[in-house]
Chain A
Amino acid sequence: MIQNEAERLLQEVLGVAAVVVATSDGFDVASAMKQGDPTRVAAMASSIFAISAVVSQEASLGRSRSVTIDTEEGFAIVHSVYRPNADLVISVIADADAILGQVAYQVSQFARSLASA
């Protein structure tokens, strides 16, 4: 269940403050957040997904897998989930306590499980 996994990431991974799974056109389908509005995160994630797709196409680098937004007090990862019927986008927002590699690994595992679901 997507919702369960979103909640698991929020509870178990150090520093994670929000997890939102959205459709590629910006509607949230599952979320677990300490605070914030999943609707807005979902819309923003879909924009990032679409813009990153254009960048990777322009650069002839294949499809965009993820975008990491590195900020002063944490980071956000927006990860694409390509599926035959409908693509999804996972957003994870993490604070300064989080370890980038660990969060990135967990998000990509989540994406993999959604891609084959």
Chain B
Amino acid sequence: MAEYKILFTGTMGAGKTTAIGAVSETPPVVTDVVSTDPSHGKSHTTVGLDFGQLTLPSGDRVRLFGTPGQARFDFLWKILVKNALGLIILVDNSRPAPLTDLKVYLDGFTDELGQLPCVVGVGRLPGHPKPGLDDYLDEMARRNLVLPVLEVDVRQRADVVLLIDTLLAQLEASQYGV
């Protein structure tokens, strides 16, 4: 029975806290506080971490951690990514510059991306089709990164499970030298 740690990151409002809440078997640990930042439409924001747990059909247990999105909390990104087996970057396609948002996390986790599997989940595509998934792939190709990019709605448990499964599949593939 293996234990995995997976880290969710991405911009404020991308759905990290929501994603973990959608799959966690136990009530997730959430460190949301009232947001005083008027530039975002959200009433609350994560300032510490999110934590949830999930048991896979195989019996393996997954510990899910979520980072705060804003760059002023980037000191926590390094702390929270320690011993993570993989990274899920969530992007909100309704924001003005989602590819720029993605870059913040590709930069913030450059070292880890050299060693850990990563999956990118793009949310709110139906109402905001641009940039498309191909644009994300192109952006990452520019950095010599080949990562799965999936369209997701993190309010749906099945979509979050898909992100986790994709990440674990990459992990297994790397263990077999694929």
Taking Cβ atoms with an 8 Å cutoff, the residues of A that contact B are 23-27, 39-40, 42-44, 46-51, 53-54, 86-87
A87 / chain B contacts, CB cutoff of 8 Å: 33-34
Q: A26-B73, A40-B75 are in contact. Are A51 and B48 (CB under 8 A)?
A: yes
* Interface status of B24 (Cβ within 8 A of chain A): no
Query: Which chain B residues numbered 27 to 78 have a C-beta less than 8 Å away from chain A?
Result: 29-37, 45-49, 68, 70, 72-73, 75-76
A25–B36 CA distance with the chains assembled, in angstroms:
7
Main secondary structure of the interface of B (DSSP, over half): strand
The interface size of chain B toward A, counting residues with CB under 8 Å, comes to: 20
A50–B70 CA distance with the chains assembled, in angstroms:
15
Q: How far is the CB of A54 from chain B (nearest CB, A)?
A: 6
Flag if B35 contacts A47 (CB, 8 Å). no
A37–B72 CA distance with the chains assembled, in angstroms:
12
Taking Cβ atoms with an 8 Å cutoff, the residues of B that contact A are 29-37, 45-49, 68, 70, 72-73, 75-76
Flag if B72 contacts A43 (CB, 8 Å). yes
A42–B70 CA distance with the chains assembled, in angstroms:
13
Most B C-beta atoms less than 10 A away, residue of A47, A49, A54: A47
In the complex formed, the residue of B with least CB distance to A57 is B29
In the complex formed, the residue of A with least CB distance to B48 is A50
B35 / chain A contacts, CB cutoff of 8 Å: 25
Flag if A46 contacts B29 (CB, 8 Å). no
Flag if B45 contacts A25 (CB, 8 Å). yes
Q: A46-B47, A54-B48 are in contact. Are A27 and B36 (CB under 8 A)?
A: yes
Flag if A47 contacts B34 (CB, 8 Å). no
Q: A25-B45, A39-B72, A43-B72 are in contact. Are A51 and B31 (CB under 8 A)?
A: yes
A42–B68 CA distance with the chains assembled, in angstroms:
14
Q: A24-B33, A25-B36, A86-B34 are in contact. Are A47 and B47 (CB under 8 A)?
A: yes
Q: How far is the CB of A97 from chain B (nearest CB, A)?
A: 27
